Amino acid sequence: MRSIPRAEVLVPSFTFASSVNVILFERATPVFVDIEPDTYNLNPNDLERKVTPRTKAIMVVDVFGHPAEWDEILRIAEKYNLKVIDDSCEALGAEYKSHALRVMSPSFRIKAHKRKANGKS
């Protein structure tokens, strides 16, 4: 994304700082999306509301191992031709409809790391 000026990446408004830091590192603009009150994950309605012509990607985070609304998120990504970045660092061993969360994204993902699904750091 480094070569795309002012690319916007949709990211949950509650996550670990690294999810946003990588967007800034790539000189893109993080656009914060409302979260679900029960899982703290992306709210699909607000996600779609925040799509603009500059939106290039969605950063999905499965916070504390809770699966995001993957079906709806992938539908929105396909509709607007957006890349999906799967930050599954906190979802080691977690599943969504029998799929390991770390394989949900058709494009790109971040490795599992420290603050895992068990909530320990």
Binding residues for ligand PLP (CB under 6 A): 15-16, 18-19, 61, 87, 89-90, 110, 113-115
What is the phi-psi region of residue 40: left when phi exceeds 0, alpha when psi lies from -120 to 50, beta otherwise?
left
Give the CA diameter of the chain.
39
In whole angstroms, the minimum distance from the beta carbon of 5 to ligand PLP comes to: 26
The closest of 35, 15, 13 to 88, measured between CA atoms, is 15
Question: Residue 6 or residue 17: which is nearer to ligand PLP going by CB?
Answer: 17
In whole angstroms, the minimum distance from the beta carbon of 81 to ligand PLP comes to: 25
Question: Residue 6 or residue 111: which is nearer to ligand PLP going by CB?
Answer: 111
Please enumerate in sequence order all residues whose Cβ is within 8 A of that of 1, keeping only pairs 6 or more positions apart, or say none: 7, 9, 26, 27, 28, 56, 57
Task: Please name every residue paired with 42 in a beta bridge, in sequence order, or none if there are none.
Answer: 35
Question: Residue 98 or residue 121: which is nearer to ligand PLP going by CB?
Answer: 121
Question: Residue 1 or residue 80: which is nearer to ligand PLP going by CB?
Answer: 1
